[in-house]
Amino acid sequence: MMASSSSSSSSASLSLIWLYDVFLSFRGEDVREGFLSHVLKEFKSKGINVFIDNEIKRGESVGPVLVGAIRQSRVAVVLLSRNYASSSWCLDELVEIMKCREEYQQTVMTIFYRVNPSHVRKQTGKFGKAFEKTCVGKTEEVKQAWRQALKDVAGIAGYHSSNCGNEAALINIVASDVMAVLGFTPSNDFDDFVGIDDRVKKINLKLILQSEQVKMIGIFGPGGIGKTTTARVLYDKLSPDFQFSTFLENIRGSFEKPCGND
């Protein structure tokens, strides 16, 4: 499996390496119990690699690990809810996301979950009250950055939970649209192969895509256990991130000499 890194219309984005398909920004207390878990399950079922900040120790401000995760995600999905603005952490995330949208042309998708987009844009209603509490003690510069980010993100045409008959339908639409942005082509070719997902995940962990060095990973084992199939699934998942790519199957057969021992 060979590939060369992708190009972009923006020269700034040429230096970026995508480690994640999606960065998901959310307020845990509003969505963690139900909606978020369903979103993650649907994304996983469609092969979408999502970064969420559950594992990061939270401090006073968004740190370099989180900034790196945002910048190295192809798509940012902002899950706006009633208490989103009650978290300075979420607001700092949003400022960085909107910065990446402007500087690196990162795709930003919004879900308005039980919140009015106009309340987000104007910081009014219960959303606005939560925002005002978070602003207490902050500098005018920080508050203005938050306000501008909320105004900009609310101006993005998004998905409204109130407009969908049920949450499952909404989540399915969002996941399908994310796949379209990523260039994923839904495939059922490998659905009957038990254990493929676990194999691909283990190999994926060994890949260091941000490195500029050439890497080679070998998959060893007896014939018939699915080595080529595993490589093909991994290739199908990663190749959309590269401008040029090719999958060479049965290299040994291709280079066998016609006869003799020379």
Active site residue 93: yes
- The one catalytic residue among 33, 55, 93, 167: 93
Q: Name the nearest CA neighbour of 159 among 139, 176, 136.
A: 176
Q: Are 58 and 89 in contact (CB under 8 A)?
A: yes
Q: How many other β-carbons are positioned within 10 Å of the β-carbon of residue 42?
A: 17
Give Cα 12 to chain centroid, integer Å. 19
Q: How far is CA 224 from CA 170, 221, 229, 230, in A?
A: 41, 9, 10, 11
Which residue numbers are catalytic? 93
